[in-house]
Structure 1
């Protein structure tokens, strides 16, 4: 049997930390069927290589194919002419291109992330080296001059439009220079003499064709690629929303079942306590404990009743209009009763004193979750600051705890549940869903002086309380 003092200590600790129905909260968290470690691990395994890295590897394969084609041209010229005259520049350019390709393949096997700027640099290097190769092999007379279109198409497909325009300008400038400045190559300019200005109508027609193609690709392909990326982002957001909805429905079902299962034990304990209190021989200390337990049981019954009513009500039809000040102060004061060991301070940071929002009990619970996270972070004080402008109410919850880990900041609000009760998990997930239902959002960041700041944004209603 647990000693009375130890039982009293456990009871008061659970009550102060989790509220009168703290056992219900613990049961919900323990019974949650999703394993965060499994979800996170599988996500990391599925993203073992980023799309940008895969694009870089594809670019290197294309570069290898172009390199092999030019090596084939070099071998053909050697077989036909049986001389190495005027081939040194081409050979040197191919060596540089091969070395760059080998170095890029080594880089693609490293763990460094591939940025858009690095990918752009790879494409510009292709343009520069290809320009040097074309210079030594006939300039614009070389039929392989059309390869300039390849980096442009790749840039239009995978890079932002500003980067694509840089590649387009670089390619067009290189092509234009090669119209007049090049070294004649026997295979492609058999009748050319040393000098400049050996352009003809056919070469100029190829240049205009390239100019026209580059303009079309840069404008229309970039637009189509942007639409595809936007469509993909929307699909990802919809998948996350569906997953989060499924998890919330699972929590709701679990909460409803738990509330139903706890009804009978609570009624039994209430009857037993009434019988113990009716005993005239009960000592004063035990009678005091029984009164405390009876009070906590009533709190549990009320909480379970509120839970059942909230599940049955249509939130949109049963919300009320409250001022931002009343919403913040009432919620914080109600929360402080359950967390007596945490000091708090409420500050008003300007705005309209009559600014009002639409709220119900679930929105207050979402705000309380932010306060609980601040208290569970190891901070002995919490500072709440509220303000408003012409359209939005802003409520900041500041703590001086350990802060939020960088990997958690990326997953906050997403359908990933952390297994740690003291961390950011199911409570914050539900808070995000509730706030978004009212057209608001939650932002979290680490404070420069230590601790974390959770900011709640809610749209103001046109009505006034």
Structure 2
């Protein structure tokens, strides 16, 4: 396309040269090719079209004297007045070409940014619709589970009165208590989201809650928690969905580490300043195989297969942390995959 436009420019300049040369007022119509170039071509090729157009205008000064049948205009073309007129025409063409090029480049860039923003909005809307469907299914499932749990509670009370081995009764009661606690936590989290209610949690409390969740979900995993004592009093404002969101990321890291048979996950907490605003940074590093560039771009933003431990859990965690004003990103390192979580800090010492 660039070559075709350059050929059109050459033919247009030849046509102008046979019809008065630089004095032909229709030479300004050659600016149309610059507009077409910036609309259809990348900036580099569009600049080539601009340079060819300017060179064609400069060549108009001496081109008529070289063409057959135009030698009679040579003396007139080389006169001082005509030369000044020709230079003025060329200068005006260059200025007009520069203005058009800059304007078209700016408008095209703004258009691309608008398209990108619209595409991101569509992806977020699709993700939110999918999460809404998953949330509705989870709410229905939790409601359906609540009734059998109540029945199990009655059976457990009768079991405690029976003359059975003590360890069996205690184990059954503990597991039932965990299920009831999970249901109660879900109800509290749902109420926080519905009423937009937030609580102040210290970093120490967050670590304790995460350890309890992981002790239930993955009791076999080894998680190395690293947090300086001076940061444990830092306060984060969030609702109860913060804990499962971070726990999902740690569980994903544990699943990724399983492929290398090393169930050790390092979680580091630190305090940084981002644009003069303090933020809590959480580094979750696993010993897995890492992520490809395509996976790094898609993870957490769209639904993906969860064969590598990075599926719906990553999307839910990403959306939850965004709603709480935080950010989450993934990077591949020589040691595995680094999950970086940023949370806004409410108060710190």
TM-score, structure 1 as length reference: 0.61
Match of residue 238 from structure 1: 121
Distance apart, 1:464 and its partner CA:
4.5
Give, in whole Å, the separation in 2 of the partners of 1:279 and 1:352: 50
Match of residue 329 from structure 1: 207
Higher RCO structure, 1 or 2 (CA under 8 Å, sep 6+): 1
SS class of match (2:141): helix
Alpha carbons 2:13, 2:57 under 8 Å: kept: no
Task: Please give the residue correspondences for 1:46-57 in structure 2 after superposition, counting only pairs within 5 Å.
Answer: none
Alpha carbons 1:417, 1:426 under 8 Å: kept: yes
Alpha carbons 1:168, 1:218 under 8 Å: kept: no
SS class of match (1:387): strand
Match of residue 395 from structure 1: 282
Match of residue 186 from structure 1: 68
Match of residue 180 from structure 2: 301
For the structure 1 residues 322 and 316, does the alpha-carbon distance in structure 2 shift closer, same or farther, using more than 3 Å as the test?
farther
Match of residue 330 from structure 2: 444
Q: 1:39-92: CA deviations, max 9, x gaps?
A: xxxxxxxxxxxxxxxxxxxx36xx55875x7xxxxxxxxxxxxxxxxxxxxxxx
Of 239, 252, 258 in structure 1, the residue corresponding to residue 141 of structure 2 is: 258
Match of residue 267 from structure 1: 150
Give, in whole Å, the separation in 2 of the partners of 1:224 and 1:248: 36
For the structure 1 residues 155 and 303, does the alpha-carbon distance in structure 2 shift closer, same or farther, using more than 3 Å as the test?
farther
Alpha carbons 1:409, 1:445 under 8 Å: kept: yes
More strand by share: 2
Corresponding position: 1:453 with 2:338:
yes
What is the aligned length?
A: 333
Alpha carbons 2:329, 2:339 under 8 Å: kept: yes
Coordinate RMSD, CA, aligned? 3.8
TM-score, structure 2 as length reference: 0.78
Distance apart, 1:141 and its partner CA:
3.1
Q: 1:417-459: CA deviations, max 9, x gaps?
A: 2243653121111111111112221010111x23100000112
Give, in whole Å, the separation in 1 of the partners of 2:335 and 2:145: 41
Of 280, 297, 315 in structure 2, the residue corresponding to residue 410 of structure 1 is: 297
Structure 1 unaligned spans of 5+: 1-58, 70-129
Distance apart, 1:216 and its partner CA:
2.4
Corresponding position: 1:383 with 2:266:
yes
Match of residue 251 from structure 2: 372
Corresponding position: 1:170 with 2:56:
no
For the structure 1 residues 316 and 214, does the alpha-carbon distance in structure 2 shift closer, same or farther, using more than 3 Å as the test?
farther
Give the stretch that moved more between structures: 327-336 or 168-177: 168-177
